[in-house]
Amino acid sequence: MKFKTALVGSVLVAAVGYVFYEHFLSDEAKSQIEKLAHSVTEGYSRISEVIESINGQLIEDTSSLPNVQATQQQWQNLGY
């Protein structure tokens, strides 16, 4: 029942928004809303690219890192 209510509410809000956009906003306001939507889309794309580039970086050889060398030395000192 909650899903049905949420769906009907969403459709109603979208319909009211569309009617408001088409009949009550000036051409300047419509162009500003379109610019805002474009800016949000462009910003989302940039953030998505940055996140993808961060996640795509892998360090293949970790043996040269100082903390890895120290940990390996500690394990060797313990007899492993």
Task: Tell me the per-residue pLDDT of 8-29, one tens digit each, with 9 for 90 and over.
Answer: 999 999 999 999 999 999 999 9
**Residue 18 DSSP code:** H
3-state secondary structure of 44: helix
- Backbone CA torsion sign across 10, 12, 18, 21: negative
pLDDT of residue 58 exceeding 80, the answer is no
Q: Which two tokens stand for residue 34?
A: 């379109």
Share of the chain above pLDDT 70, in %: 89
Q: Which residues contact 72 (CB under 8 A, 6 or more apart)?
A: 63
What global pTM score does this model have?
0.52
